[in-house]
Structure 1
Amino acid sequence: MGFGVREFELALLHRMRDVNAEKVEETLGLLGASRAELREAHAHWTRLAHAPRAPKGAAALRRALGPPPHRGRRPAGSLTCDVLRWPLPTWPGLAYEALVGPGGELWNQWFVRPSGAAALTFADLVPWACVVGGRRRELPRRRTDRRPRPAPLDGRLPPRRRDASRPLRVRPLPAARTSTFRPVLTSTFRPVLRLGASLARCFREPAGTLGAQVLTRVCGS
């Protein structure tokens, strides 16, 4: 089984199935492909990605899709990357774009809308009709809603976000309390302390009373 444009599209559909399974099933019917072909295309692309001698990065895309009809260059910070684009029949009006670094490494790959296409309105935001870059360019006034979110239905509280303008408070650790260990140490080592004090006193007294003093002190404690 070769790996061309059709197989590459099936590999993309396999990844999209987790997001929009109904749309993928509809597209498989239009392509005349089965689920077995979908899985095989994904497995084939995975094997090529891990094969030691198979081309990697942009070379793998060129092998599957052929020479890119569009090539350009784009600044990225202090570097400049190559822009490669391929049209895919399943997504008309869009192009599959790959950004390649100076060393040939693949930086990014996604769908883009070629320049000169008609601008989208909010009503046109349907699956597979808009891209991330187009949404930012064509709908600049849309803002992310930062209002407090309601609590989920399962009772869990939403995650708290700390305000960066407020200083971060660090609560000091409580001081170590040694008073709780004192009774344990005293009761454990009390016989030993008594024996040491008795021996020290006995050495200052006559030798005849040494044994009796030690036995009296130890056994009577």
Structure 2
Amino acid sequence: MVAMPSAKRPAEPFTPLHFQLVLLRRMADHNPGLVEDARRGLGASVAEMREANKRWQAMLHAPRGRGAASRYRSVLGAPESTLTRKVGDLDCEAWLFPVPLWPDLRLEVLLAPNGAVWNEWLIRAPGVPGPDLRTLEDLTPWSCTVDEAARAFAPARPLQGTAPTRWGLSFTAPDAAGARREVVAEFTWGLLQRTAVSG
């Protein structure tokens, strides 16, 4: 008698926990120690982090997948708050979602007037004071967001990211002795990962 193949179990829902593992997976190349501590804090294994990232990538590239905006809503639920952001002459809608790994940050999903997602990254939560960024020594991994570094060390020049969800900034900042140094800062999902210093 031939055994019938067992029915494939439906995949468990993709939850905010899985999304946080996706964020961590993208940061692991730069800060494996920080990622390891955060992953353990979430109670997830390395295999679970890899699987979450694999499922997220499959959702991104599915031929009939949800649009980016509806994908975020299905995974993260309704936004905690909605703001209007001015981009050039356009009024865009920004959805803010909490990220328990970083209680002082929010995931900002920026939508164009036609509903397409223009940008998605971590920002400081409204009303929460940002870090006091004065010197190179203040630029530690995970200490600040793209916009915070750009404001603190203006004028900063945006750089092409090395991969999706990655950004770069080039600026001048003083070291502890007061000498001005040329800095390239790298960010993943909008959060500082590392800096390279010259000059």
CA displacement, residues 90-126 of structure 1 (integer Å, 9 cap, x when unaligned): 1110011011111111111111012322242236543
Aligned twin of 1:61? 72
Structure with more strand by fraction = 2
Aligned twin of 1:88? 99
Question: Which of the pair has the greater relative contact order for Cα pairs under 8 Å at 6+ separation?
Answer: 2
CA displacement, residues 134-163 of structure 1 (integer Å, 9 cap, x when unaligned): 2233455895268799xxxxxxxxxxxxxx
Q: Distance in 2 between matches of 1:89 and 1:61?
A: 16
Residue 19 of structure 1, CA deviation: 1.6
Aligned twin of 1:75? 86
| C-alpha spacing 1:28/1:148, structure 2 compared with 1 (3 Å) | closer
Query: Over the residues paired in the alignment, what is the CA RMSD in angstroms?
Result: 2.5
Q: Distance in 2 between matches of 1:39 and 1:20?
A: 16
**Larger Cα Rg: Structure 1 or Structure 2?**
1
Q: Distance in 1 between matches of 2:99 and 2:151?
A: 22
Q: Does 1:38 align with 2:49?
A: yes
| C-alpha spacing 1:147/1:67, structure 2 compared with 1 (3 Å) | closer
Count of residues paired in the alignment: 149
| C-alpha spacing 1:119/1:6, structure 2 compared with 1 (3 Å) | closer
Aligned twin of 1:144? 172
Aligned twin of 1:127? 141
CA displacement, residues 2-44 of structure 1 (integer Å, 9 cap, x when unaligned): 1010000011111111121111111111111111101100111
Structure 2 unaligned spans of 5+: 1-11, 157-170, 174-179, 184-199
- Work out whether residues 91 and 128 of structure 1, in 8 Å CA contact, stay in contact via their aligned partners in 2: no
Aligned twin of 2:30? 19
Letter in 2 for 1:108: N
Structure with more helix by fraction = 1
Q: Distance in 2 between matches of 1:86 and 1:147?
A: 35
Tell me which stretches of 4 or more aligned residues in structure 1 moved more than 4 Å. Answer: 138-143, 145-149
CA displacement, residues 53-84 of structure 1 (integer Å, 9 cap, x when unaligned): 32121111111000001101112112221111
